Chain A
Amino acid sequence: MASISLRKLVKKFGELTVIPDLDLEIPDREFVVLVGPSGCGKSTLLRILAGLETIDGGEVMIGEERVNGVPAAKRDIAMVFQDYALYPHMTVRQNMAFALENKGADKAEIERRITEASRLLDIGDYLDRRPKALSGGQRQRVAMGRAIVRDPKVFLFDEPLSNLDAKLRAAVRAEIKALAQKIRTTMVFVTHDQIEAMTMADRIVVMKAGVIQQVGKPEEIYERPVNMFVAGFIGSPAMNFFPVTVEGDDLRLQTGDTVPGHAVPGFATLSAGQDRQIVLGIRPEHLDGAGEGKGEGVPITVDLVEPLGSDTLIHFTLGDVAAIARVSPDLRLAPGDRVSLVPAPGKARLFDAESGKAIQ
């Protein structure tokens, strides 16, 4: 158990600066998910925490200790790798015992911890098998087991679910979350999958090109994204972005339709006629289908219908923007149908088109 703090962190690979300048505080016992598109430097950041990569500037603190030059072996952290990285020549039991043996734990203690961890993860039945004889899901569990028995200061996970099939992934996601709540150790979990981030995190760190975009609780990130990147990255299907202009008390869309300003947070800070490009961001789930000709909402024509069972996604085009709305399946919409969409009050976001920053 330990807090983590990164201060003015710089990481380069030769000429390539992967992390230009990064600050991050992770309190003790928090489950933090680092999320961002592939190649944004998440793994690099995690490996820096692990001591597997050197840094080119700044400070890495684990607990009260400055660990800049401390090798991975001395950091007392555990890591679950994307490919699990189990020792192929060792049985599951030996895999789990290895780190404890290195620490010089006694036999009885090692046995006790393995028993406990294997009960927690339900891997007791194949303790004497080699990794080769296990399925992907089982290997994943063993990798977790190998981390748990350590009782480390910090757990690091590098996309541990990406090699599992979709169904298993959802199940393991829930398990890891339950596990995290049980063991309550500081955990840093890296993923490019925003659903994993939303479902598991105490706090989410959204990264892009080595720069932290936003840090916050999942609902904060979802409800109040600080910029268009975060807004578009978190949430599925992604937020729709419509260019708008301010007209009196309304926002005018490219098509000439208007959205009442009072329903949009941040509208009050805008003044009419401003020479500023503004983008209205609305999530698909915040567009309600109101049926045709009720006088309110924005009329659109349905291009494509994707029934999900509980909801239906309708694809439409507004001006030159392709957009999606998540509506009730009871509307029974078909391609070509006309429908009016009403933004849920208080849910839309405004962004400065140029900087991408949210207008609060």
Chain B
Amino acid sequence: MRARSFSVPWFTVLNVIQLTIAGIVVITPTLWMVLSSFKPSFEVTAYPPTLIFSPTLENYASLSQTTPFLHYAFNSVLVTVSSTLIGILLGAPAAFVVSWTRITWPAIVSLVARMAPGTLFLLPWYVMFRHFDMIGSYWSLILTHAVITLPIVLWVMLPFFDGIPRSVIEAAQIDGCGPIKIFRRIAVPLVSTGIAVASILAFVFSWNYFLFALVLSNAQTKTLVAASFNFIGEGATNWGGLMAAATLIALPPLILAVVVQRWLVSGLTLGAVKG
């Protein structure tokens, strides 16, 4: 140990500094948000921020009284889970086909679509959904959110499918499998980690996506993220309520990320299937 401590390379030190800064940047607002949500309203905006206070659940209690919070949560879950499912059901086979045939243009197109700002789609969609009288429907939200999830699933899954040796797929062909059976019985079981990673990422992105829900939902179908906008403006902002809502909204992705973090990291770094 002693010998090591003398030979810490300079970049290790730099790494630690970088990570510390990154950690502070990420953790401070989160901590501030969570702490504030437990503060009495008058203390939330106090300056300097108080670190010692008597925690209260009043912000959380007021949430469910002042807004249909549970209903919004249900909307969010419905839209997010559905769009994630659609993303997986369409994206995983698509990724398999792209990986196997090496015809990559569909993947590129989806990536470009994903990278383009959402506002680009918003107007045409608005016009389209209005034409079909679907504004405010769950379907309009689910379908538009599927546009978020599909490219994520496709691109996350691609290296996992690439990691399957071609000979394994060929062996299955020779063993009498058609494409669908190969996908179900060979490819999918071999990329289960990838499916988990893709699902989680799709879930998180869909859950957090704000713009489409803001425009295409109505009071009945609003998602949590869109609804949290209600706390801002309209005269005085209810900071305590906003913090409580934000904390609750951030909870599912955070819990997911923590639960599967080891999986997530290993899954993101290598998609290889070891025989």
Contacts and interface: CB of A to CB of B under 8 A. Distances in A.
Q: Do the two shown chains form a genuine complex with each other?
A: yes
Interface of A: 50-52, 71-75, 77-79, 81-89, 98-99, 102-103, 131-132, 146, 150
Nearest to A102: B176
A89 B177 contact: no
A221 to B, nearest CB: 29
Nearest to A73: B176
7 contacts: A52-B173, A78-B174, A87-B186, A88-B190, A88-B274, A103-B176, A131-B275
A84 B190 CA distance: 16
Contact of B173 (A72, A84, A131, A146): A72
B174 A79 contact: yes
A88 B275 contact: yes
Interface stretch (B29-37, B68-76, B134-142, B163-171): B163-171
B170 A81 contact: yes
Interface string B78-91: 00000000000000
B170 A73 contact: no
A83 B175 contact: no
B173 A73 contact: yes
Dominant secondary structure at the B interface? helix
A102 B170 contact: no
B186 A77 contact: no
Contacts of B168: 85-88
A73 to B, nearest CB: 5
A99 B176 contact: yes
B175 A102 contact: yes
Contact of A85 (B167, B176, B185): B167
Contact of A52 (B170, B177, B185, B190): B170
A103 B275 CA distance: 25
Contacts of B185: 98
B178 interface: yes
Given A73-B174, A103-B176, A88 B167 contact: no
B174 A102 contact: no
B69 to A, nearest CB: 43
A67 to B, nearest CB: 13
A182 to B, nearest CB: 22
Contacts of B165: 83, 85
Contacts of A132: 274-275
Interface string B175-201: 111100100011001100000000000
B196 to A, nearest CB: 15
Contacts of B170: 50, 52, 72, 79, 81, 85
B273 interface: yes
A236 B176 CA distance: 40
A146 B186 CA distance: 16
B171 A87 contact: yes
A343 B165 CA distance: 51
A102 B173 contact: no
B147 interface: no
Nearest to B190: A89
B189 to A, nearest CB: 4
A349 to B, nearest CB: 40
Contacts of B167: 81-83, 85
Contacts of B248: none
Nearest to A79: B174
A88 B172 contact: no
Contacts of B172: 87, 98
Contacts of A74: 176
A146 B168 CA distance: 13
Nearest to A130: B275
Determine which residue in B165, B175, B186, B189 has the highest number of CB atoms from chain A within 10 A of its CB, and name it: B175
A114 to B, nearest CB: 14
Interface in B221-275: 273-275
Contacts of A50: 170, 174
A73 B171 CA distance: 9
Contacts of A102: 175-177, 181
A357 to B, nearest CB: 38
Contacts of A52: 170, 173-174
A83 B185 CA distance: 20
Contacts of A82: 167
Contacts of B273: 88
Given A81-B167, A102-B181, A86 B275 contact: yes
